[in-house]
Amino acid sequence: MAFPPSPLDTINWNTLGLSITDAVNGHVESTYTLSTGVWSTPRFVSDPFLRVHGLSPALNYGQQAYEGLKAHRSPTNSILLFRPADHAARLSASAAYVSIPPIPEAHFLQCVKMAVARNAEWVAPHTSEALLYIRPLVFGSSGHLALTAPTEFTFAVFVQPGTTYHGVQPLPAVVVEDFDRAAPRGTGGGKVGGNYAPVIRWTDRARTQGYGVTLHLDAQTRTCVEEFSTSGFIGVRKAGEHVTLVVPDSKNIVASITSDSCLALAESFGWTVERREIPWSECKFFDEVVAVGTAASLLPIRSLHRPSTGETFYYGAETGDVTVKLGTAMRNLMRGKVADGFGWTVEVKEEDLLVDEAVAAQAPAVEDVSERPAEVVEEKMNGVEHTNGSVDSKEIEVEGKA
């Protein structure tokens, strides 16, 4: 059988949501033990379940970190990952926040490619807006009551077919003022579960009030924009033909790979990019606001409301032209419809169905991160944020409208 297989013909790819299906073929697992100091050879598990000790620090203390990336099918039937090496770096940086050993990039890529290759028929047709969402996660999995490193960690990669998290229509957003997502010098820069589960009650409440998205200001002064609960923040200013994109520069937010990609595209268009503090008061001057992330993609924000002041800033019920151009360029790159001048896409091939023993044998021992200083984490996160800062951007072809 030729690889990759055709998309399943039993699915209506145009009506997929975010519901979990257990019908995919399975997931990939790898184990790290303190005694060996290395991650085990990846293994494919043909069900969606994990075997985890009930007293594991993951379940009891929240010792876990995760990632999210996507696979798309190109017009030539190739399956493409988007910036997987950057997601590998960000996962290891997040893991350091909760004293989990890093996953070497080659090992991360091997596990992700295997998970996608073994589920290749679940990658949507290139004519569909659907995608294959990839969820790598790592956690302390052995029984362990003390607040010290457990003896075992598990790295797993799951996949799910679906579509963008919030849809594509502009949504109203509200500032969360009764809860701070992240404290200064805390874990806000990592994709760890403890930063997300506490937000659920506030996002649920916001939805009952008619808001599709929630926004967080800085915890210390509550005067500067940080990020949306599920996505990064981009503000757009237009002056005639001149466009400026502004993104928050804070150590308390996740280094958004989607945002970084948008900024690189913007620079290739000749637009201005600013990474700096964004006072809440500046939001009224933006022409467009966009929530950006792997699951959300590029979501236009219709309005921003702050209950304590009664302020509401409006950006329009239709998607702005800057968001359209960025979104179209991103989709064309991810789906292999235009040449990738940034080197962001990586193809999943037939050989990824099996373990590359050479990679497994060469996997280096990983460092003990239980005492890793915060400065190292910050450097790794900042490295992801500016991964493409020195790339000579090529002009990106934009086809049609989003």
- Beta-bridge partners for 245: 236, 273
> 27-166+346-355 maps to which CATH number?
3.30.470.10
C-alpha span between 118 and 120 (Å, rounded): 6
- Residues with catalytic annotation? 191
Q: Which residues contact 328 (CB under 8 A, 6 or more apart)?
A: 398, 399, 400, 401, 402
Give Cα separations from 159 to 99, 123, 358, 393 (angstroms). Answer: 25, 10, 25, 31
pLDDT value of position 341:
96
- Beta-bridge partners for 72: 80
User: 59 is written with which tokens?
Assistant: 């379940």
C-alpha span between 330 and 327 (Å, rounded): 5
Asked if omega into 4 is within 30° of 0 (cis), the reply is yes
Tell me the CATH architecture of domain 171-316.
Answer: Alpha-Beta Barrel (3.20)
Q: Which residues contact 240 (CB under 8 A, 6 or more apart)?
A: none
Residues of the chain with CATH 3.20.10.10: 171-316
Residues of the chain with CATH 3.30.470.10: 27-166+346-355
Residues of the chain falling short of pLDDT 50? 166, 367-402
pLDDT value of position 358:
63
pLDDT value of position 366:
52
Q: Is pTM, for the whole model, over 0.85?
A: yes
Give Cα separations from 103 to 27, 36, 94, 112, 321 (angstroms). Answer: 17, 14, 11, 12, 40
Q: Report pLDDT digits (tens) over 228-277.
A: 999 999 999 999 999 999 999 999 999 999 999 999 999 999 999 999 99
Residue 232: helix, strand or coil by DSSP?
Answer: strand
Query: 228: closest CA among 289, 147, 156?
Result: 289
Q: Where are the alpha helices (DSSP H) in 72-176?
A: 84-97, 105-117
Query: 175: closest CA among 312, 282, 294?
Result: 312
Query: 233: closest CA among 244, 247, 223?
Result: 247
